[in-house]
Amino acid sequence: MNILITGAKGFAGRNLVENLKNIRDGKNKTRPNITVEEIYEYDLDSTPEQLDEYCSKADFVFNLAGVNRPTDPADFKKGNRDFAETLLETLKKYNSKAPVMVSSSIQATLAGRFGTSEYGLSKKAGEELFFAYGEETGNRVMVYRFPNLVGKWVKPNYNSAVGTFCNNIANDLPITVNDPSVELEMLFIDDLVEEMFDAIEGKEHHCEFDGVNAIIQDNGRYCYAPVTHKATLGRIVELLNIFHDQPKTLVMPEIPNGSFEKKLYSMYLSYLPKEKTIFDLKMNCDDRGSFTELLKTANCGQFSVNISKPGITKGQHWHNSKWEFFIVVAGHGLIQERKIGTDEVIEFEVSGDKIQAVHMLPGYTHNIINLSDTENLVTVMWANEQFDPNHPDTFFEKV
């Protein structure tokens, strides 16, 4: 399949192109029904001759070209309606049977505050051209009205408040929030790419619109991406500040699969400058080695790494309800545990050559001994709770 993408250098176009390349090159095997041969990338620096060639060969067309922040309002019509006409006339010239996916905007509903939007009016005019083209040719036309598009590579300080917030907070720049209670509906670019893959496979999602709300309808005139998220500006900024502070707090917020928080965190990280991509961890060092906290979670404990010098014994304490995993990843050691109030000792010889996880049992005093005379013993540790200095639940007692 030869695929034409107009607006290929824009935010949506760039993400789609790179993901189509993954399919073409066999890196993404999750869409076995899609075969990509040629990807035709058309943008402002392309020539009319290239558009002509691409339209003559395309088996599927994504029209992602558009103008949304022109200096002259007249450019709305040129970029959104007039180019659509040029594209469709070129496709008709070659009697193309290629399905066409069209990126429009929720502003094309002209509902509420969008009723006087020059951008919305130009998008609406472009939509009607594509619908007329579909009726005239019988070709499949899919018109998508997007809410706020967000995700990696969205241009900050342009037309995405979320992109601006991510960029500025990641780079310690000021932001302005006039009304934290304003709610945004957001479509993350990776969810949109999956919907565009669905469109290629003929599984696009259809709807009608009631104002700005998409109403699911199998034979609806419009199309929509089914996975979107709503959040207030205040909540977005709150989360971004938590992400910003993570290298200091070490606390990883809850980011369940598919959640808004997980997707926003990924978007935020894409704006980090080089100097923030690496950060120091506090190593607590003494003559026995070191202990370093790596990561903390709100509800699932924390991770640390312990380094013991040759011949050193560490631990010699027990807990009531706290428990841990000790995972030796380098060196040769011995873990001992003794049930409090008894002489019952259990032992585990451990090595980085065979990585195993050992439970530190509640009510058992335990230690870890470096058996090597020359090598450090490196142990990754997980505890079921963050360390609380006010309630340490840690009591010294030799094994």
Catalytic residue list: 119
Contact 169, 176 (CB under 8 A): no
59 Cβ contact list (under 8 Å, min separation 6): 1, 2, 3, 98
Helix (H) or strand (E) holding 133: helix 118-137
134 Cβ contact list (under 8 Å, min separation 6): 100, 140, 141
CA distance 18 to 8: 10
Helix (H) or strand (E) holding 136: helix 118-137
For 280, the token pair is: 């120091």
**388 alpha-carbon distance from chain centroid:** 32
Give Rg (Cα) of the chain: 29
C-alpha to C-alpha distances, 82 to 33, 67, 129, nearest whole angstrom: 34, 11, 10
Alpha helices by DSSP H, 25-116: 48-57, 74-76, 83-93
